[in-house]
Structure 1
Amino acid sequence: MPVETSSIATVSLRGVCVDYAGTPALRDVDFDAAAGELTVIAGPNGAGKSTLLEVLAGTITPRAGSVEIRASSRAFVPQRTAISPTLPLTVHDVVTVGAWGRVGAWRRLDHASREAVDAALERLDLTALKRAAFGVLSGGQQQRTLLAQGLARRAETLLLDEPTTALDLDSAERIMCAMRAEVDRGVAAVCVSHDPAVIDAADVVVRLEPGGVMSPRGRA
């Protein structure tokens, strides 16, 4: 039975199955996320939470089941550990990648896209660091940079993988505020998290059990 939402779902999965080398990662998962809501995917390590998020992002194709995306654009914010710290990129470079979703990779940014990049840097308190090398930032600064990249996309669906894990309190609070602001402007935000503060802030909480089976769920 799918998650109940207060409005039409922006993304819907039905009967989704994903296997890794014959081992089930997700089994017959139904999932909905609606615009203007923060949906948190919780559960133990190895339950398939990040796999579910990557199905929503379009980076994994299920073995079975259907995926319906009604949003015109998606932004996927990975954990900072997914980005090599050796890449010769500044904070501004990393955030600008998000705007390429609007204009195309390596193309000159238009005025609206430049404004989106500057606004994202400002919202995550990164303006003073925009010329700093991404690899020398603290963990919290790196995660804020990746979220700023997602915000610069100005997508209708925002997907986040453990955005506050092992961060200082200030960075975690800034990320939480930015997520809520996106939800308030009508974005469908889906977040994988173990963080009790993130789970408490959710509009809807879903839980995956080991083996990728969805357990009963509902509103937070």
Structure 2
Amino acid sequence: MLDVRQLSVNYREVRGLDRISFHIEPGQLVGIIGPNGAGKSTLIKAMLGLIPAASGAVHYCNCPLHQQLQKVAYIPQRSQIDWDFPITVWNVVLMARTRHLGWFRRPGAAAKEIVKAALERVEMYSLRHRRIGELSGGQQQRVFLARALAQQAEIFLLDEPFTGVDAKTERIMLEVFAQLKREGKILLISSHDWGGALNQLDRLLLINRGLIADGSPDRVMTPENLCRAYGTNLQNSLQPDWDNTLFC
């Protein structure tokens, strides 16, 4: 079980994340939603130790998560990736095996087979020799999902993976997430626009610095909870493909 306990983050004198607690069982897909600046990315980064926590702890199987990062696959927001770096699709995914092989060992047949299978799973093997900067936004996101798959991780943390992707990529990603659930993986995914993908989630975390609601999407996405999260800007913040009956 992935267990987050009373996690808080401070930015100088401002509380960016306030005592958030939840747990995720193996085989669950959990989404994070909230307004801009709510702390969605902060939560994921603090869980990984990429930014310091003011208080709280994150454990996996009763051990600190930061001591088990080899079991975690993380896909950051697109804005944090240098898409101009001269590297091929194949080598981006092959880098996932570096942690297992070490920097000075050449990848063998087994590592190459893992990379090939990951690229085939996201329908990107035919473009394996293409430079990453030459791909569309959706194709780039699929490459980084393949990289996460090649890590053979137990926990998948994805920050805004649906931003700027096409319908094909969204379909492939959701199919991969469903398969990972069947394999008993833990998935925590942030998004500002879940749209029709809401029904794929086992649980949804609604946050705005603190945890406002945690449960099935239909129990979380109520007018009362959304008003607490989005405040007076609720109507301007809602995505047009959300079910309007929620807000009557």
* Fold equivalence (TM over 0.5): yes
Partner of 1:74: 72
Range 199-208 or range 143-152, more displaced: 199-208
CA distance in 1, matches of 2:190, 2:94: 24
**Identity, % of aligned positions:** 33
| Structure 2: gaps (5+ residues) | 218-248
Give the match's secondary structure for 1:163.
coil
Does structure 1 residue 12 correspond to structure 2 residue 11? no
| Residue pair 1:97, 1:105 contacting (<8 A) in 2 also | no
Match for residue 156 of structure 1 among 126, 129, 154:
154
Partner of 1:215: 212
Higher relative contact order (CA 8 A, sep 6+): 1
- The superposition leaves residues 46-92 of structure 1 with CA deviations (integer Å, 9 ceiling, x where unpaired) of 00001111122332231111121237500001223321122110001
Instruction: Give the alignment of 1:1-220 within 5 angstroms.
Output: 9=1, 11-70=2-61, 72=68, 73-105=71-103, 107-193=105-191, 194-209=193-208, 212-220=209-217
- The superposition leaves residues 25-46 of structure 1 with CA deviations (integer Å, 9 ceiling, x where unpaired) of 1001102121101010111110
Partner of 2:233: none
Amino acid aligned to 1:32: H
Greater helix proportion: 2
CA distance in 2, matches of 1:40, 1:100: 29
Q: Which runs of 4+ in 1 moved over 4 A?
A: none
- The superposition leaves residues 1-46 of structure 1 with CA deviations (integer Å, 9 ceiling, x where unpaired) of xxxxxxxx2x211111101122111001102121101010111110
TM-score normalised to the size of structure 2?
0.80
CA distance in 2, matches of 1:159, 1:49: 11
CA distance in 1, matches of 2:156, 2:104: 22
Instruction: Kindly report the root-mean-square deviation, in angstroms, between the aligned alpha carbons of the 2 structures.
Output: 1.5
Amino acid aligned to 1:75: A
Per the alignment, do residues 29 and 122 of structure 1 end up closer, same or farther by CA in structure 2, a change over 3 Å counting? same
Per the alignment, do residues 105 and 24 of structure 1 end up closer, same or farther by CA in structure 2, a change over 3 Å counting? farther
Amino acid aligned to 2:44: L
